[in-house]
Chain A
């Protein structure tokens, strides 16, 4: 499927047509957001097949509980990414997943540390633009832990051995940087 055939609507149009449960809205929703959501899910779940399942569950949940979203609460994507992240974290904390991955724990940790030091280039991250210039490494690390790895800021503080206040400050500074970069 080429990029040209993808459907794109403005957020207001999309929300409105989703509320009217129009068929085209579902397709637009998928085309506009599946890659961003899959990016988040894939960073929490490394197994591609399970990540794909979670992406499907995410869309099903978005579709079925769309009436609980309102534009007053914030942007559509923020709401959806929370659903995706929670489903992904639920999945990796579930019993099945844990049993399945018991033997890989050490290996995963090595990968994780390598990732942090940028010594490994993961093939699935090949399409990602380089943001190293935008964020300082320690800022990127925290943003990625919380946004992509599903850590709470408390867990991130414990993981990195940094005071909670510092975590919050760095997170805010990092997002300030991102805002400068994108706006």
Chain B
């Protein structure tokens, strides 16, 4: 029975991926990409990799889909038809060869791992020292913490890159108003945003808290928060803050800076990013709570785009 489920799921994943790649209409491609992300989330659930499933459903199907939809709307506004045109045969063959080579390399790498040598048996004996039970969180925030630290700064760097695209004179302003153009729609989305934003905040806080012992974590939580902020922004429930607002800047850097500070303080306990014995769980939870807030605000602003001229609707309510 489970085999039949896995087989159908695999076929549907391959099918949605192929259609998303080959269909001409951009919106159809986006719709299939969203379905693909959801199905991939199910596949990770089926493999009992719930941490990855949460991230895939939140980021792959949720926020990336929104980003693509808004990008298409922007293309249409700029006069692009948003349909794919034919590319030269040579380019296609080259891409095929490159992808096929990469797949073969990846398959060889995966197949060369002996089945018994999972990371799990390395990590499991080390977990009691941390006081948390979710091994993925253990790897992300303790054993390979520098990866996560660098990632949090990469995300910040991405926002700086987006902001640097602001037209001259627009800096430091607000991003273009993400609100609905149509007033009745704005009311519907606004009511929904008023409800969703607090719920998303609670859900995100729960995901961080659960992330110590159960599947969850800062990135998933941050994405849920970003989703709440985006709907609230599109419904006009919250106004976007000006990009030089001190409170906003503080929210953006809080997570990475706290992470870095705790990591540097670890030098006193034996090395960079070493947590003192007994304090590990408290420090990890502190890092994750500040990190999720920063990730959420950063992701929402990444989707909102760079500051634009004329988007200076005075709104004292900042987010963050």
| Same assembly | no
